[in-house]
Homo-oligomer: A and B are copies of this chain.
Amino acid sequence: MAQSKRLSAGITRTNREMADGRTIRYYDTKHQTRTSHDRRPIEEQPGIGELRLDPLVNEWVAMAAHRQGRVFLPPKELCPLCPTTSELLTEIPESDYEVVVFDNRSPSLRPPDADWALPDVAGPDSDLGTAAGKCEVICFTADHGKSFKDLSPDRVHVLLEAWIDRTEELSLEPFIEHIAPFENRGEEIGVTLAHPHGQIYAYSYLPPRVEKMLATANSYKASTGKILFDQILAREIRDHKRIIARNNDWIAYVPYASRYPFEIHIAPLEPVADLTELTQVARDGFAPIALEIMKRLDGVFGIEMAYIAAWHQAPVRVGRDVLRLHWQITSVRRAPGKLKYLAGSESAMGAFIMDMRPEQSAAQLRKVKL
């Protein structure tokens, strides 16, 4: 049975069950009946993986050994994210779509049993959990050859509403603590499917970087009474020279201490904890700046840049008063034939070395003719 729900901005979400029990959600602006059945044979689902504690740093590592065999750079004719055709039954049973979100077929994290709980983290003898959470795939367009930057403003708006809807719904799950929508783009960073899409990871624990952002923001609040991110944004506005774009509701800048040759943070000027708290006017203002930034990024060297674009949100249950929503885009390309790699200093020690001044990278991004 299809279940439909009216979201804001005239968008309808229709949920359908896939052959193996997973859910696919269609986000449509036009009236659509989404009734096509997933006619593929049912494959067995892998079980839930392990969470193991890395005791050296007290961080969870999710073990997802079943992902080793996942689909790897299939040609366009075999793309599982394209609409279904008479030749190929894909993940999307319909013959066309706007934006869809479906449960990942090879999830790193999956919903646990009802009695699930995360063990207390203590050290080398209290170190095994189950990799609870949820992993979803979000397709930006049915058009295989497009990129985020080629989407229409209307489509980016639907995408944003889909991210908001997923954050809202996943936040209701008792086993979910943090929700991170992100896009990986480019074979250089290991993308295994070329179709324009992103992922949504919903964790049952605070990811280590989120945990550190939270601790830092809490300690800053305790010592100054202020919200760290608001002060950071105020400084970027004061310094001015690293700002790339700005409209009434959003600002995009290369952060003062960026870690990648091209790193861009995009934040709403009216601070919110997560996507669900964005005002209607902020939602409307997102598409233009998002598209401008992505076009600038590809314009720097005139080639498609490999990037990771991740939404940093406040966790579901903690830190909502001290952490702020922002979108972080990082690109490892430092020159047309050269990538930045995380080697000894970054990878083993966590100490980042930047080969380029943030002010220079901001100037290059601003200079791009659109």
Contacts and interface: CB of A to CB of B under 8 A. Distances in A.
A167 interface: no
Contact of A190 (B57, B189, B341, B360): B341
9 contacts: A52-B257, A54-B256, A61-B354, A62-B354, A63-B357, A65-B355, A65-B356, A68-B334, A203-B351
Contacts of A224: 123
**Copies of this subunit:** 2
Contacts of A190: 339-341, 343
Contacts of A220: 123
A85 B364 CA distance: 41
A235 interface: yes
Interface string A225-240: 0001101100100000
Contacts of A58: 212, 216
Given A52-B257, A55-B228, A257-B53, A64 B354 contact: yes
| Consensus secondary structure, chain A interface | mixed
A66 to B, nearest CB: 9
Interface in A60-76: 60-65, 67-68, 72
Contacts of A143: none
A180 interface: yes
B57 A213 contact: yes
B255 A216 contact: no
Among A122, A183, A349, find the residue whose CB has the most chain B CB atoms closer than 10 A.
Answer: A349
Q: How many interface residues does chain A have, given as a range?
A: 35 or more
A308 interface: yes
B344 A199 contact: yes
Contacts of A223: 122
A235 B124 contact: yes
A130 interface: no
A352 interface: yes
**Top 8 A-B pairs, shortest CB-CB distance:** A190-B341, A209-B350, A182-B344, A310-B348, A207-B349, A208-B350, A52-B257, A207-B351
Given A68-B355, A201-B345, A344-B180, A56 B338 contact: no
Nearest to A334: B68
Contacts of A64: 353-355
